[in-house]
C-alpha cells in the first residue's frame, strides 16, 4: 500500500519534472530561434533567454554601466530580454517616448508595490505607473496644472528660506573653525536640503532633515524601499508574488506608512499654503478629491521630487570640483550677475534684512548661460533616470513600426523597448568630442575657454544634439516636475558658488569612489560621499549689495 503510494508520488513527480523540463526547453528554443520576432537583433544569449539576468545586473546596481557596454559592443539596437530591445538611436526617440510614442511598458507592473489600501483594487499606484494612455492623461492633468507657470512661482517662494537655511548651516561650519575652513560631506547636506524642500512643496513643510537629521530614517526607508523594486521591475511576475509577502515588502510598507502619515497631516493642516497639493486639488475642481489626490500622490512626490534633484545636484558639484576651471568660471558669472542685478548673497545676517520675501530670481538665473550649461552637462553625464525609460505597444494595437532613415524595427504587441539616457548622452554621434568628459562649454552658443587652463574649448567645434538630450524624458509621460527641478538646481548652485570657495577635501577624498559607488535603481542613487573643504567668502559684507 505504502509502496504503491510512493510509486504514484514518484511517477507524478517525474511526470511534472519532465513536463516542466520540456516546457522550459521549448521556451528557450523559441526565444533563441529565428522565428522569434526579435531574433534579428544582437545581444547576449543569456538576455535573449531570460530577464532574470537583467534582474541580477540590477541587483548589483550597475545597469547603467552594463547597458553602455552592451551598446558599445552590439550597436544602436540591442536585445536585452526575451521580449525587449534597447535603442540608442536618437531618431527613434519621438516614436517611442515623444508625441507619436507608446504607453509605458511592463517594467511598471514590476514596480507596482506601493499601493495604499485605497489603491489595492486598482491596477496602478499613481500617475507614474499607469500603462493605459487615456487613464494616464487623465491622472496627469492635475500634475500639469500644478507645474504650470503660476503655481511654480508659488513654490519658488518656498525655496528661498531653505536656501538661506543651508547657507547658514554651512557658513556656521566654516566660522566654527579658527582657520575659517569647514569640512563637510556635501552629498549629505544636498540630500537633506532636497528632501526638506520637497516636504515644503508637497506637505506644508513637515521634513526637517537639515535641522534634526534623519531621525525618522526616511532617507534610509526610501532607499530600502526602492532597492527591491529596481530588481523586480525586470521580472513583474515575481513582484506580484512578493507584493503579498509582508516580510519581503517590509521596507516599502514602512515607506508607504510614512508617506500616508505626511499626506494626512498635510490634509488636516488648518493653514494651507499654495503648495503642490493645493494646486492639484484646485486643478481637479472637486474639493472632495483633495484627500485621495494627496494620498495617492504622496509617495510619488517624495520619491520623484527629492531623490532625483539631490542626485543631480551632487553630481554637478562633483563635476565642478573635479574641474576647478569650470567652478571658477561659474563663480565669475554668478558674481557678475548678482552684482549687476543687486541680488543679495542669500546668507541671512548680512543681506536678508533688505531681502524681499517676494523676490524671485529664476528669471535672472534662467538667462545665465554658464550656470545652465553646467546643469545640462551634469544631467548629460549623470541622468537621474539612466536606463529605465521603457515603452510598449498599446494593447490591441498589434504592434508598432519604428522607422528612421536607415533603421526600422517592428515591435509586436507583448514586446517592449527601452531608451537609456545614460547611453545616448555619451554617444559620440550626438555629443563630441570627448563625450565622457565634463565640458559645459559644449552647451554655449559660441564656446569661450574657461580661464586658468581649464577646458580650452575656444577652437573646438562641438557636436551637441539637443534632440538626444533626454534627462527629463520627452512626450506626454515626461517628468512632470521639470520646471521646479530646474529652478531648485539653479538657486542652490548659484547660492553655493556665490558664498563659498570649495575644493575636495583631499585628506579624505578618494577620486574614484563617487562614480564607482553610483547605483542605478531606476533613479540613480549616490552612495558615495562628497567630502569638501569650504571657505565662506563674505561677499555680502564686502560689497554691501542689497535688493534693488
Residue 279's DSSP bridge partners are none
Q: Which residue of the chain is nearest ligand HEM when measured via CB? A: 481
Q: Cα–Cα distance between 4 and 222 in angstroms, integer?
A: 55
Stretch that binds ligand HEM, among 208-216, 217-225, 299-307, 447-455 (CB under 6 A): 299-307
Does position 305 interact with ligand HEM (CB under 6 A)? The reply is yes
Find the shortest distance in angstroms from Cβ 445 to ligand HEM: 23
Spell out, one character per residue from 96 to 135, where the chain touches ligand HEM: x when CB under 6 A holds, - when not: -x-----------------------------xx-------
Does position 351 interact with ligand HEM (CB under 6 A)? The reply is no
Residue whose grid cell is 520619491: 303
For 425, residues 6+ apart whose C-beta sits below 8 A from its C-beta are: 380, 381, 383, 431, 435, 468, 469, 470, 471
Give 34's DSSP letter.
T
Does position 278 interact with ligand HEM (CB under 6 A)? The reply is no
Does position 473 interact with ligand HEM (CB under 6 A)? The reply is yes
Does position 478 interact with ligand HEM (CB under 6 A)? The reply is yes
| End-to-end Cα distance, the chain | 99
Find the shortest distance in angstroms from Cβ 383 to ligand HEM: 6
Give 290 or 347: the residue with its C-beta nearer to ligand HEM: 290
Stretch that binds ligand HEM, among 113-121, 208-216, 301-309, 347-355 (CB under 6 A): 301-309
Give 393's DSSP letter.
P
Which helix (H) or strand (E) segment is 399 a member of? strand 399-403
Q: Cα–Cα distance between 90 and 478 in angstroms, integer?
A: 16
Find the shortest distance in angstroms from Cβ 241 to ligand HEM: 25
Near ligand HEM in 130-189, by CB under 6 A: 140, 143
Find the shortest distance in angstroms from Cβ 161 to ligand HEM: 17
Does position 480 interact with ligand HEM (CB under 6 A)? The reply is yes
Among 210, 218, 484, 530, binds ligand HEM (CB under 6 A): 484
Distances (CA, A) of 160 to 36, 247, 314: 56, 41, 19
Q: Which three cell numbers stand for residue 354?
A: 533688505
Binding-site residue positions for heme? 479
Find the shortest distance in angstroms from Cβ 405 to ligand HEM: 24
Near ligand HEM in 399-418, by CB under 6 A: none
Stretch that binds ligand HEM, among 38-46, 338-346, 442-450, 476-484 (CB under 6 A): 476-484
Find the shortest distance in angstroms from Cβ 475 to ligand HEM: 7
Stretch that binds ligand HEM, among 175-183, 254-262, 448-456, 469-477 (CB under 6 A): 469-477
Spell out, one character per residue from 367 to 396, where the chain touches ligand HEM: x when CB under 6 A holds, - when not: -----------------xx---x-------
Binding-site residue positions? 479
CB environment 37-71: b (16+ within 10 A), e (fewer)? ebeebebeeebbbbbebbbebbeebebbbbbbebb
Distances (CA, A) of 211 to 166, 207, 351, 488: 9, 9, 22, 19
Find the shortest distance in angstroms from Cβ 36 to ligand HEM: 27
Stretch that binds ligand HEM, among 44-52, 56-64, 449-457, 479-487 (CB under 6 A): 479-487
Among 230, 233, 296, 477, binds ligand HEM (CB under 6 A): 477
Q: Cα–Cα distance between 514 and 382 in angstroms, integer?
A: 12
Q: Cα–Cα distance between 220 and 222 in angstroms, integer?
A: 5
Among 81, 393, 481, 528, binds ligand HEM (CB under 6 A): 481
Find the shortest distance in angstroms from Cβ 164 to ligand HEM: 20
Find the shortest distance in angstroms from Cβ 233 to ligand HEM: 12
Side-chain half-sphere CA neighbours of 449 within 13 A: 10
Q: Cα–Cα distance between 362 and 486 in angstroms, integer?
A: 9
Closest by CA to 476, choosing from 108, 136, 150, 146, is 136
For 172, residues 6+ apart whose C-beta sits below 8 A from its C-beta are: none
Among 190, 280, 346, 479, binds ligand HEM (CB under 6 A): 479
Q: Cα–Cα distance between 467 and 451 in angstroms, integer?
A: 30
Find the shortest distance in angstroms from Cβ 486 to ligand HEM: 8
- Strand 181-185, strand 84-87: pairing: unpaired
Q: Interface residues with ligand HEM (CB under 6 A)?
A: 97, 127-128, 140, 143, 300-301, 304-305, 308-309, 312, 384-385, 389, 471-473, 477-481, 484-485
Amino acid at each position: 500500500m505504502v509502496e504503491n503510494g510512493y510509486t504514484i508520488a514518484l511517477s507524478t513527480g517525474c511526470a511534472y519534472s519532465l513536463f516542466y523540463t520540456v516546457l522550459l526547453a521549448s521556451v528557450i528554443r523559441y526565444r533563441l530561434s529565428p522565428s522569434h520576432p526579435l531574433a534579428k537583433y544582437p545581444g547576449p544569449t543569456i538576455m535573449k533567454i531570460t530577464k532574470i539576468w537583467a534582474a541580477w545586473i540590477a541587483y548589483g546596481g550597475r545597469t547603467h554601466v552594463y547597458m553602455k557596454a552592451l551598446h558599445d559592443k552590439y550597436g544602436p539596437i540591442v536585445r536585452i530580454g526575451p521580449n525587449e530591445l534597447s535603442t540608442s538611436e536618437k531618431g527613434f526617440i519621438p516614436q517611442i517616448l515623444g508625441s507619436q510614442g507608446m504607453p509605458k511598458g511592463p517594467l511598471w507592473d514590476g514596480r507596482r508595490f506601493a499601493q495604499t489600501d485605497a489603491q489595492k483594487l486598482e491596477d496602478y499606484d499613481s500617475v507614474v505607473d499607469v500603462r493605459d494612455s487615456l487613464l494616464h492623461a487623465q491622472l496627469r492633468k492635475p500634475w500639469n496644472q500644478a507645474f504650470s507657470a503660476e503655481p511654480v512661482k508659488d513654490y519658488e517662494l518656498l525655496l528661498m528660506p531653505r536656501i538661506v537655511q543651508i547657507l547658514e548651516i554651512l557658513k556656521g561650519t566654516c566660522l566654527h573653525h579658527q582657520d575659517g575652513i569647514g569640512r563637510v560631506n556635501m552629498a549629505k547636506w544636498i540630500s537633506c536640503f532636497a528632501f526638506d524642500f520637497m516636504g515644503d512643496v508637497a506637505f506644508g513643510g513637515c521634513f526637517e532633515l537639515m535641522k534634526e537629521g534623519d531621525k525618522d530614517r526616511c532617507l534610509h526607508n526610501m532607499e530600502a524601499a526602492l532597492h527591491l523594486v529596481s530588481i523586480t521591475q525586470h521580472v513583474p511576475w515575481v513582484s506580484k508574488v512578493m507584493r503579498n509577502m509582508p516580510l519581503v515588502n517590509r521596507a516599502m510598507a514602512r515607506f508607504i506608512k510614512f508617506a500616508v502619515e505626511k499626506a494626512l497631516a498635510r490634509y488636516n493642516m488648518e493653514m494651507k499654503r499654495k503648495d503642490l497639493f493645493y494646486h492639484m486639488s484646485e486643478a481637479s475642481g472637486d474639493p472632495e478629491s483633495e484627500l485621495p489626490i494627496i494620498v495617492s500622490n504622496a509617495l510619488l512626490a517624495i520619491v520623484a521630487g527629492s531623490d532625483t534633484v539631490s542626485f543631480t545636484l551632487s553630481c554637478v558639484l562633483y563635476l565642478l570640483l573635479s574641474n576647478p576651471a569650470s567652478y571658477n568660471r561659474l563663480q565669475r558669472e554668478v558674481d557678475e550677475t548678482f552684482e549687476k542685478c543687486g541680488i543679495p548673497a542669500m546668507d541671512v545676517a548680512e543681506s536678508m534684512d533688505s531681502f524681499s520675501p517676494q523676490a524671485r530670481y529664476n528669471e535672472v538665473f534662467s538667462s545665465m548661460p554658464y550656470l545652465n550649461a553646467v546643469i545640462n552637462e551634469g544631467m548629460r553625464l549623470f541622468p537621474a533616470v539612466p536606463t529605465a525609460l521603457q515603452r510598449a505597444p498599446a494593447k490591441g494595437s498589434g504592434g508598432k513600426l519604428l522607422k528612421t532613415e536607415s533603421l526600422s524595427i517592428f515591435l509586436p504587441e507583448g514586446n517592449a523597448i527601452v531608451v537609456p539616457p545614460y547611453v545616448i548622452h555619451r554617444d559620440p554621434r550626438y555629443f563630441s568630442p570627448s563625450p565622457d568628459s565634463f565640458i559645459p562649454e559644449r552647451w554655449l552658443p559660441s564656446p569661450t575657454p574657461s580661464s586658468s587652463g581649464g577646458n580650452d574649448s575656444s577652437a573646438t567645434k562641438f557636436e551637441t544634439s539637443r534632440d538626444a538630450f533626454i534627462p527629463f524624458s520627452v512626450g506626454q509621460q515626461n517628468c512632470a516636475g521639470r520646471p521646479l527641478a530646474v529652478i531648485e538646481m539653479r538657486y542652490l548652485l548659484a547660492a553655493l558658488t556665490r558664498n563659498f570657495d570649495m575644493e575636495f577635501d583631499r585628506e579624505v577624498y578618494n577620486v574614484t569612489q563617487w562614480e564607482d559607488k553610483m547605483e542605478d535603481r531606476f533613479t540613480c542613487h549616490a552612495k558615495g560621499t562628497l567630502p569638501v573643504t569650504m571657505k565662506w567668502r563674505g561677499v555680502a559684507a564686502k560689497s554691501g549689495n542689497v535688493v534693488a
